[in-house]
Structure 1
């Protein structure tokens, strides 16, 4: 399902500081963050081996795309894979708004998604979602500031989103004008297993026990299909000089590992 939080053009050091937990079945084959693709459009990100797409990726020319799924009771059989949506932007030369407009026209071909597209060289960030079902897709420019995206619309006041946003603000306030270390962020914010109060769960139409299991920032739920939960945490940090680093803590063969990739936006 995933949850993301980021501060955008509103910090003295970080042009962008993005945190993202990826939630998925532990059995689904996945490649850790690395460079892949061809030529000038190489992508830095993890990769879903089964579908071929990604949940988050960035490029050296300043493109960034990430998505979360929308929590809903029934998946549409035969839907197009949502992991292709970030790739469409990352592999193109079109603006975030142009790609968002294209995606919106085909939105009903996908199960519920929230997609964020950004060009860090032009300082444009766009959000697009195909939910609520049956309504035209939403497209909006993302304003500077701190935002949280879980499994509903951008900045929806779900308890896990409120909790992550509050803790993120407190961490940034504590560090003041200093750079925030990725490992500190992960351990302080993204491993939080606190579940929502049952009387404050969102009404998504899903089984309440399933909703409760997914209501923490860090998830681990046993299902009939196997273990489902947080497989990795990524922290993307970009300063105003275009120096970027992508830190990932990820689960591989039952062991937590981590690494960092540095690059310069050109």
Structure 2
């Protein structure tokens, strides 16, 4: 997951609304969001190479339905090829029974073994952001206050152009009571940011331009899925997914 905007306790009766894009290499196989055969309570996509996930919900569990999402932090100079898969953090939380606070307390001491990540997880009663990079941020690992938030491949609410633009559009859609289709249209925006507003993340400027779009298009890498999630106060959660690019190499060859 490389862009997620979410509203926490902004809409009455809907504690959490999230809209997200997953960006990945097209040749990395994955399954679409759905119940996991070994645990049908989990609704999520699955990375078939690492075995983890990037975003999902549970239908029920301790504290009611739960939510988890992950984005990678872009840091090419820091990336270690031998680091464990970050997607396991989402999968383990969704399949476990620990509260978000207890889970963060458990993983925090050893989180440095992973490449940089942002983790958003919680339930109807509490939502948390945890990163193994922004450890000085007072929000890190603490319950989030009600509001609208955005994360790409930096830290929470870093003012990257696509984060700021999508948060503003997201807030407008929430105020309008817009239909789900409008959120998917927001996530399909391929506009690239002007060079003067691009973040400096250690990749070449041509790549910064390509990655600055909400919906990324390039020959071998880009937005693979778009997802909208809702946690309700008194009903099961909803997760809607749109496949933007093929999830598996076999699908790409057949298309």
TM-score by length of 1: 0.85
**What SS class does the counterpart of residue 193 from structure 1 fall into?**
coil
**1:65 equivalenced with 2:75 (yes/no):** no
Give secondary structure in 2 for the equivalent of 1:42.
strand
Give the aligned partner of residue 235 of structure 1. Answer: 228
1:228 shift after superposition:
0.2
Match of 1:30 in 2: 30
Q: How does 1:61-210 map to 2 (within 5 A)?
A: 61=60, 62-74=65-77, 75-120=79-124, 123-132=125-134, 138-175=140-177, 180-187=178-185, 189-210=186-207
Q: Secondary structure at the match of 1:52?
A: coil
> In the alignment, which residue of structure 2 is the partner of 1:246?
239
Q: Distance in 2 between matches of 1:42 and 1:167?
A: 32
Structure 2: tracts of 5 or more residues without a match: none
**Match of residue 18 from structure 2:** 18
Instruction: Give the aligned length.
Output: 243
Contact 1:88 1:99 in 2 (8 A): no
Q: Tell me by how many angstroms 1:134 deviates.
A: 11
Going from structure 1 to structure 2, the CA distance change for 1:14 and 1:138 (only over 3 Å counts) comes to: closer
Runs of 4+ that moved beyond 3 A:
132-135
1:13 positional shift? 4.6
Question: 1:243 and 1:85 mapped to 2: Cα distance?
Answer: 23
Alpha-carbon distance in structure 1 between the residues aligned to 2:134 and 2:166: 24
**1:32 and 1:132 mapped to 2: Cα distance?**
31
* Change in 2 beyond 3 A, CA 1:197/1:107: same
Q: In structure 2, how many angstroms separate the alpha carbons of the residues matched to 1:160 and 1:32?
A: 25
Residue 211 of structure 1 and its aligned partner are, at CA, apart by 1.5
Tell which has more relative contact order, 1 or 2 (C-alpha 8 A, sep 6+): 2
Report how far residue 245 of structure 1 moved: 1.5
Q: Which runs of 5+ in 1 are unaligned?
A: 256-266
Give the equivalent residue in structure 2 for 1:7.
Answer: 7
**Partner of residue 49, structure 2:** 50
Give 1:243 shift.
3.2
Change in 2 beyond 3 A, CA 1:73/1:133:
farther
Distance in structure 1 (CA, Å) of the matches to 2:167 and 2:49: 32
- Tell me how far apart the structure 1 counterparts of residues 230 and 140 of structure 2 sit (CA, whole Å): 27
TM-score, structure 2 as length reference? 0.88
Q: CA separation in 2, counterparts of 1:245 and 1:63?
A: 11
How many angstroms does 1:12 deviate by?
2.9
Q: Contact (CA 8 Å) 1:37, 1:43: kept in 2 or not?
A: no
CA contact (8 A) 2:57 2:239 kept: no
1:5–1:147 CA contact under 8 A, matched in 2 = yes
Q: Structure 1 or 2: larger strand share?
A: 1
CA distance in 1, matches of 2:106, 2:59: 23
Q: 206, 213, 216: which is aligned to 2:210? A: 213
